[in-house]
Amino acid sequence: MVNTMKRSSVDREKLSPMMKDYMILKDNYEDCIVFYRLGDFYEMFFEDAITASRELELTLTGKSAGLEEKVPMCGIPHHAYSNYIDSLIEKGYKVAIAEQLEDPKTAKGIVKRDVIQVVTRGTRLDNNLDSKNNNYIANIYDFGYCKGISYTDVSTGEFYIELLEQDNDQIIREIMKRGFRELIVNDAIDRELINTLRVTYGILISITKDLYEEDDYKYIYENIEDIRLITTIKHLLSYIIDAKKGDLHHLKECEIIKRNSTLIFDNNTKRNLELVETIRTRDRQYSLLWLLDKNKTAMGSRYLKNQIENPLTNKKELERRYDFIEKISTEFIIRDDLRLALDEVYDLERLAGRISYGNLNARDMLQLKRSLNALPKINNLLKQLNYDKEIDILEEVASLLEKTINEDPPLSLKEGSIIKDGYNSELDELRSISSGSKDFILNIEKVEKERTGIKTLKVGFNKIFGYYIEISKGQKHLVKDEYGYERRQTLANCERYITKELKEKENIILGAEEKIINLEYKLFMDIREIVKRYISKIQEISKIISEVDMLQSFSIVSDENKFVRPKLTKDKDLELVECRHPVVEKVMKDKYVSNDIIMNKDTNILLITGPNMAGKSTYMRQCAITVIMAQIGCFVPCKSAKMPIFDKIFTRIGASDDLVSGESTFMIEMKEANYAISEATENSLILFDELGRGTATYDGMSLAQAILEYIHDNIKAKTMFSTHYHELTSLEKDLKNLKNVHVSAQEEAGNLTFLHKVKSGAVDKSYGINVASLAKLPKELIKRSEEILNIYENKSIKKEVFTQTSLFEDTIEEVIEIEQENEIESKVKDINPLEMTPIEALSFLYELKKEIDKK
């Protein structure tokens, strides 16, 4: 039977001293699973043990704690705790790690323990983080009339902030786009918003109103004037500092997000365009990020992802990137040397974080040394390429690490073998003593064998008895008193002895080794403190390396795929000649059919018709992806490209419905359309794929036409609008900035061939039945659908004429209807029902009904 004893039901007075200590500590971390260090294990008790045993598939046992019944307990080895923590935090738990703060050998009474850090989804600083993705923790501070959002990657030190309107939809869009997995909110926040984020989107949320009020981290916000931004930052800092309880001075000065400095789009657009992961598998492979990521460093990969999610709007900066790509592509031998040198650079951003926080080991220091050793070559190559930034190569740090850190150190800092010979004279002397004594002990075996004549004699060591002489059972009778052997342990097949001489040398060796380990640890900490002074410089180097790595990656991809340099214009001409979808082209076996996307200053809307599966969606996506590639500073998949700089992209493409929100497809369509119409400017790009399909045909057609007219007359944004409502193609006559294009297909003897070529003009036919036939629907079903279609097409139904109408004036039909209503209304007003007989009233009603039917 499972022990389900709860902490709240326990009489604390009866508990053992250790369990009382645990209870006091746990009281301060009610929302965490506490890993409580006992010797070589982390133990969990009560509800924590029950939860952990279930989630981690551990055996639930019990511990005697002064009560009649054992309390629930489970445990994990301390050296393997990281994988268990990974599993718990992925499932949405927080873990508080309680360590022994003093040596149990020297402690008087209960060993002092305390929580050294709380590990959550957003506060991790270990080596198990995904190297190619940022791990942000964010907060929302509700001021009542607006909300502050700040976020940081604790592992790299990046820190950002912005103010948003009091609009929950906008807040959710921002959170989903940034990919936050943990949020801190103040207690004034809207509970409905919290519930949506928790339940619908699975985000870990903590509520606290605490603000950081010390001066240690004031540098993060001291150059910001807006008190709302400062309050928001202090709110997030309070939580992080309380959780990590270590030095976080690698956190950088907070950067205010300027929304006009980046190309804005929401998470739906990010998903629809498959920028960083595919819709179907949610995997990086076959996304735009997968195609462009030829980076050699983890920092470069993260920077590329950040740029894809936040493309630039600064023409000067984009041209600067194009220039460098052009240069490095012509100097391909230097580029190859640069790639080889970048391959030697480890994740300097996260190394800087671990150096500051103090959770690094000697192998991390080696990674730093090897990275620094590659910098002189990188710097020299960048000078040859006329790169406009110079790297500080930190010779003094590289030299220090070269002199101090062993080439193959252990993972632990408490095992020795970290520091090189020749760095510290005291350490060298201790090593000499230890080494000489070990040689003496190795010689004892030879000497004792000769002295005693016992051939099976050998010298061994274990942590319990130290050094000992071991003799097999068959020869123990040869041991004489004169040898001075003192029996220590009897085993099934041998006897173990010690001698006075052996114990003396053991004390010298163990004493020296303990001193060596302690001295090496101290020396390592001193080296870390020296390196710590250079953290801001290491972060600057990281920033430059990240950009250089990304740009060389763009150069490689551009050369491999025949991308061209785009020409950025100040007018509104968009001319993408022979444009391709770069990912589709890369993965498809057949030759990709390129298409022109031409929207000059007289064309703002392309109305796209054509059968399903012909490539309408791909045609639209490749336009947006080309724009994004150009605005991250990459060359583009075209024969030639001329384009303006866009400020925002809005999309409604494909089956990206957010089903978990419980809203219908049509409602989501309308919300996304409203978002685009409300936020778009004349410098935006809008992509709508079959908008209005989620409702009745005439409703959908009417809405689609009204939206097209509104965009044409009021927004004037570049818009690609695909539709199956062929009636809408007549709008080209009334909307001067709208142009019809179609994706062509060829029909022969009922068989349909997709040509994937976009041509001017509209199609006059839908190929739905042909596409159904391609999908291998039953032949009798296809035949019946053709019969029904013929009936509909031959019906003498007068086609409706779609014309643009004013939003503010009555139509002719409406005027006639109003006149009819007024005529009938005046007849009713002229009669007095009180003066009419029942027969007269019935007769009047009959005549009125006849007149209405007639009209």
DSSP 784-827: HHHHHHHHHHHS-PPPPPP----SSS--HHHHHHHHHHHHHHHH
CB of 583 closer than 8 Å to CB of 628: no
Cβ-in-10-Å burial (0-12, 13-18, 19+) of 479 comes to middle
DSSP sequence for 668-717: HHHHHHHHHHHH--TT-EEEEESTTTTS-HHHHHHHHHHHHHHIIIII--
Pairing of strands 159-165, 182-185: unpaired
Q: What is the pLDDT of residue 798?
A: 43
* Backbone dihedral angles phi then psi of residue 16, each to the nearest 5 degrees: -70, 160
Q: Could you tell me which of 684, 534, 622 has the C-alpha nearest to residue 288?
A: 622
Q: Rounded to whole angstroms, how far apart are CA atoms 367 and 411?
A: 13
Q: Could you tell me which of 133, 135, 129 has the C-alpha nearest to residue 284?
A: 133
| pTM score, whole prediction | 0.84
Q: What is the pLDDT of residue 442?
A: 81
End-to-end CA distance of the chain: 84
Please count the other Cβ atoms lying within 10 Å of the Cβ belonging to residue 767. Answer: 19
DSSP sequence for 485-554: -EEEEE-SSEEEEE-HHHHHHHHHHHHHHHHHHHHHHHHHHHHHHHHHTTHHHHHHHHHHHHHHHHHHHH
Retrieve residue 692's tokens: 């209005």
Q: Rounded to whole angstroms, how far apart are CA atoms 152 and 134?
A: 9
Q: Could you tell me which of 739, 656, 687 has the C-alpha nearest to residue 279?
A: 656
CB of 44 closer than 8 Å to CB of 74: yes
User: In which residue are the tokens 């919300």 written?
Assistant: 671
Q: Could you tell me which of 100, 91, 2, 89 has the C-alpha nearest to residue 43?
A: 100
Pairing of strands 71-77, 41-45: antiparallel
Q: What is the pLDDT of residue 463?
A: 76
The secondary structure of residue 110, as a DSSP letter, is S
10-residue mean pLDDT profile of the chain (855 residues): values are 81 91 94 94 95 94 90 92 92 94 80 93 88 94 95 96 91 92 94 92 93 96 96 98 95 94 93 93 94 97 97 98 97 97 97 92 95 97 96 96 94 88 92 82 87 90 86 90 90 91 85 89 95 96 98 98 97 96 90 93 92 82 97 98 97 62 72 89 94 72 89 96 87 94 72 73 64 62 64 52 44 46 70 70 75 72
SS3 state of residue 462: strand
Q: Rounded to whole angstroms, how far apart are CA atoms 391 and 661?
A: 49
Q: Rounded to whole angstroms, how far apart are CA atoms 504 and 496?
A: 17
Q: Rounded to whole angstroms, how far apart are CA atoms 714 and 461?
A: 87
Q: Rounded to whole angstroms, how far apart are CA atoms 480 and 474?
A: 15
The vertex-547 CA angle with 262 and 289, nearest 5°, equals 70
- For residue 685, what are the β-bridge partners? 649, 718
Q: Rounded to whole angstroms, how far apart are CA atoms 691 and 701?
A: 9
